[in-house]
Amino acid sequence: MSPEKPAPDARHCRVALIDYEFGNVRSVANALEVLGAVVQLSRDEEVLHQADALILPGVGAFADGMANLRRFGLIPVLERLVLDEKKPFLGICVGMQLLAKTGWEGGHHAGLGWIDAEVVRFEVEQTHNLKVPHVGWNNVRTIRDSALTGAVDVAHTFYFVHSYYLRCNEPNIVAGTCEYGIEFPAIIQQGNIHAVQFHPEKSQKHGLALLSSFLTLVTTAKESPAC
């Protein structure tokens, strides 16, 4: 019997944090560097092309995030790298929401349209006596096996800060859900596109474990022969 192939070494994985001047990215970079990744904050097309993976963080309003992506000419670059070249991608918080077709924060705004979803506000103040925004620790239950989540029907705690959530019309891409008056997608995965509503960089050991899983899948993809 042949020996098992060793797990890929995610250290030195080159990760580009997309710089669109939207939110504090230092904590994301710190978490990735703790895991051994080589991190660069950039919006330079060549740097993004050379990276093994792309991460789109984001803290703020949907419309402002889209406006900044357009202002820096990043939308066609990201479409080519992620949709056409299938570079591994992770969206965090608003970086997840921007993948939707449309968002309703401060009006009706077009998103990237990479997934069939819209971003809507929590309406739980009256119906469930809950405060908006949803801030703090909450359980995420995995409902589908994916490279980020591992086993199905396992709950881990992550840190959330958001008033809007993803209403997804493609239930098959939802890998993890959270409850806050209603059940909403907390983790999605569609091919090489991964995204989370919570902040893994602020979620201690479970957040680091999720980021480590992302780096491992990036390294696996990097080592796999081209089709």
Active site positions, annotated: 93, 199, 201
- 197: Cβ–Cβ under 8 A, 6 or more apart, which residues? 93, 96, 97, 160, 162, 165, 166, 178, 184, 185, 186, 187
Distance in Å from the first CA to the final CA of the chain: 28
d(Cα 138, Cα 29) in Å, to the nearest integer? Answer: 23
SS3 175: strand
CA 16 to chain centre: 13
Assess contact for 123 and 95: CB atoms under 8 A. no
